[in-house]
Structure 1
């Protein structure tokens, strides 16, 4: 029993198969932070072996309507079979909602990137991002070569989902901060731009996308990188995951350095991706980035409302990135120019 938590596995786990996995074994439980996730995590320190493991209980009702409890398990198998490193499954309940998985440690790529930045280790930073890119190269090749109608191929960043995310941004960021009361706000222009932007992004959603491929969802384990939090994977734009990684608000990179790393991605991509795919990324990344960063602002505001105040630290950096990237597009002028500029002005005062 863990004296701090005061819990036994039997109190957490109702599944017989998982309980049997730990039968007659001494262990200690430690709570693990779930960050923005609603999943429940406990680290299980086994006294009879050097390696620990993680007990993960998935949401009873996943937040995304098209995500099922068994998706984490099914996608982990697909990724592993495709040589994409993710935590191994050691035991699971029959419905796949409770799993014991490999413990890949607590160090995430966010920690390592910020450490390398502080040390001014530019080569180390380039090498680390190149390792991250290897996941994206596999994701994009995987989608075009897949022979199975897997979980992620049955759902996509369609018009409905993309619009839902931007209306979520409107509800939790715009209305919460009373932005709609400011002089520049134009509800009609906002909604019309949302329609046009989301239709354009949805029209190119034909590749495997992790959906949340940023520095907190990559763990550093024994000099290897391990991807996590992939249960929402779906068909999406070829540029979605690279935009999520390069313009990740969780890391403290200036814009010029981000652009250098983006250029490095394209240089390396020539060796792994068809020219057609790299051209698609080049042509679509700006509109995908606009939708992604606005969606992120809504998520940060919602997390603050849920009591996770640390997420407010990423609002101003995200607004600065939106402006500095110059994502202006006449097709959605209000979203890409007016709104981005006015929000930065409002939050900088």
Structure 2
């Protein structure tokens, strides 16, 4: 980030508060896989806020503002947007501190409770918001996400041929997703995007929210980057969510728990394949570091999901027998 942009950001924040820029202080507060960067603004009285820098040439912040305002009005825990300049790409937000959900994964019991709390937050999101205001997570979008895997992971990174079983798997995973009730989907409901502040769990980074499958955020959480649950643990979490969704009317009795669990495994396979493609793209196209090291974790998620989907045995065998050795060999070759 250029010094001139930092100066402009500081001036903008100071003007919003009616202060001289010399009386406020900005310090780095993290970034993410996009071009967005965050700074902690410390005011003369010691209070803090977070300033988002989202260069408009690379990031469109209009969806973040619109969604944030709607979800805040619905009583959901999201950072309040105090000011925004979409032309400049500057936003002023509540400071939610420095405790993402994964910081609470200190022992098995705390980890389990944190995931149950997060599943309850997904239920709030689905119950309190109207998905009609969001873009559709339709077959075209699901397909584009899946296609990141053969393009970026297989083709550009591994130079590996697409298996014959791919098209059937791709079509079936899309079919499973579209068979589910449509709700508001955060789309990156990973622990890193959930902040614990004043004993409340807040959602951040919701700019890519869509109207899509009931299970998607559940999968973002349970098949995220920090934990790998056993088949029994995964089924237990899904079962708890299923029972609440039935009680609250988001699922009807026509959908059995067994069917919903299978849909969750299919959704998990879709997301794992997408993530494998995205992480390779972030590395190759955007020169982002650290993402290839995470591939084995999501490869394991993919294998866990496929193990519960016997109709995709041929593809599962290819993943274990061809894809896994290729990824591990390439990572070993690229190791410093």
TM range (shorter): 0.7 to 0.9
In structure 2, what is the equivalent of residue 131 of structure 1?
Answer: 117
In structure 1, what is the equivalent of residue 49 of structure 2?
Answer: 53
1:309 positional shift: 3.0
Deviations 1:210-251 (A, max 9, x none): 111111110111221110010111111111110111111233
- Kindly report the root-mean-square deviation, in angstroms, between the aligned alpha carbons of the 2 structures: 3.1
Mapped partners of 1:281, 1:142: distance in 2: 22
Listed as ranges, the matches of 1:238-277 within 5 Å are 238-251=214-227, 253-276=229-252
Contact 1:162–1:202 (CA under 8 A) maintained in structure 2: no
Matched, 1:12 2:9: yes
Deviations 1:110-137 (A, max 9, x none): 2222xx23xx4x1x23322222112211
Match for residue 269 of structure 2 among 275, 290, 296: 290
In structure 1, what is the equivalent of residue 304 of structure 2?
Answer: 324
Distance verdict in 2 for CA 1:320–1:128, change over 3 Å: same
In structure 2, what is the equivalent of residue 24 of structure 1?
Answer: 20
Matched, 1:35 2:32: yes
1:93 positional shift: 1.9
Matched, 1:201 2:177: yes
Distance verdict in 2 for CA 1:254–1:206, change over 3 Å: closer
Any gaps of 5 or more consecutive residues in structure 1? none
**Which of 91-100 and 290-299 deviates more?**
91-100
| Structure 2 SS opposite 1:37 | coil
| Structure 1 SS opposite 2:30 | coil
Mapped partners of 1:299, 1:317: distance in 2: 14
Deviations 1:18-65 (A, max 9, x none): 73325236211112221212212211111213x3111113342567xx
Contact 2:195–2:203 (CA under 8 A) maintained in structure 1: yes
In structure 1, what is the equivalent of residue 333 of structure 2?
Answer: none
Contact 2:85–2:91 (CA under 8 A) maintained in structure 1: yes
Mapped partners of 1:9, 1:177: distance in 2: 35
TM-score, normalised with respect to structure 1: 0.80
| Structure 1 SS opposite 2:79 | coil
Match for residue 208 of structure 2 among 232, 257, 265: 232
In structure 2, what is the equivalent of residue 176 of structure 1?
Answer: 156
TM-score, normalised with respect to structure 2: 0.83
Matched, 1:304 2:301: no
The count of corresponding residues between Structure 1 and Structure 2 is 322
Contact 1:250–1:314 (CA under 8 A) maintained in structure 2: no
Match for residue 86 of structure 1 among 78, 88, 101: 78
| Structure 1 SS opposite 2:184 | strand
Any gaps of 5 or more consecutive residues in structure 2? 330-336
Contact 1:157–1:205 (CA under 8 A) maintained in structure 2: no
Contact 1:18–1:93 (CA under 8 A) maintained in structure 2: no
